[in-house]
A and B are shown apart, each in its own frame.
Chain A
């Protein structure tokens, strides 16, 4: 992370801290008595399942650690994490499945 000065990093920390607090306070604090339109709630429900997949797709397909070369071990690890998390409904199971698969395939491939 070469391009970031200390003030820039702290600026991001502060902006995220204040912005996140504002989001958390919003409807509990100032807007508590207002009716939240259904269509907004409907969209908010899908923020986590859309932003994160968009962000990780290139990381999975073209990992930086292999210089952008698609890596079978990392693909298998991602698939295992997805399957583990989907079937168990448990984030820790997903992480363990993914990392175990990554190490296993890397080990088998030498």
Chain B
């Protein structure tokens, strides 16, 4: 079918992304609520959400700031959560590498979990797509996701102040993190990596400045990578 023209590819991207709003809206609102409750003002919450656009990293940063971790630990830990996006960029490069630099620069800003997942799947399924059609599809995916993410955060930040403490929203942050991780526990390697990280986090909690998080994660990553290496011939 006519996914070959950029216009039809763009529309396919938009319609493909709409169901993901079911995930984006609650996460965005939750960040607005949590950020506000942590003591950020509206401008700061919106600064996070428009400049970082990465829910998990934003929640990580807020949590560590509440824990009074040093700024450098906040920054390094949150960026480490985002390192998976280097993998996204590497996976998209064979398909979008020939696009003009300004388009790749724009795609980089819009490269979030949902736009990446949808686009990479589509590019793999349709190797005949032209480069302009691929760019249009990607931008189509971002068209509903990004503005709604920003709007949802705003709504959450404005409403957040009105939510009473009985709702135990303090626990929405760990629940959200579990929700981000659990569907990703696809293989033995993923499960072993997560378990290693948990055990190390408990064993190494004495390391100051919240640095145990990075040490535990690195240990988990090495276990996951090693199991994957042994499993693949």
Residues of A within 8 A of B (CB): 1-4, 6, 8-17, 19-21, 23-29, 32-33, 36, 39, 41-61, 63-65, 74, 77-78, 81-86, 88-92, 94-95, 98-99, 102-103, 106
Tell me, in angstroms, the Cα distance from A36 to B94 when the chains sit together. 12
Is B85 at the interface (CB under 8 A from chain A)?
A: yes
Question: Size of chain B's interface in residues, with CB distance under 8 A?
Answer: 93
Contact check, A90 vs B183: say whether CB atoms are below 8 A apart.
yes
| Segment 14-60 of B: residues with Cβ below 8 Å from A | 22-23, 26-27, 38-40, 44, 47-48, 51-54, 56-58, 60
Residues of B within 8 A of A (CB): 22-23, 26-27, 38-40, 44, 47-48, 51-54, 56-58, 60-61, 63, 65-66, 68, 71, 74-75, 77-90, 92-93, 96-97, 101, 104-105, 107-109, 111, 168, 170-185, 189-190, 193-194, 196-198, 200-202, 205, 212-214, 216-222, 224-225, 228-229
Do A92 and B79 contact each other (CB < 8 Å), given the known contacts A23-B86, A84-B182, A99-B172? no
Contact check, A85 vs B44: say whether CB atoms are below 8 A apart.
no
Q: How far is the CB of A91 from chain B (nearest CB, A)?
A: 4
Tell me, in angstroms, the Cα distance from A14 to B61 when the chains sit together. 12
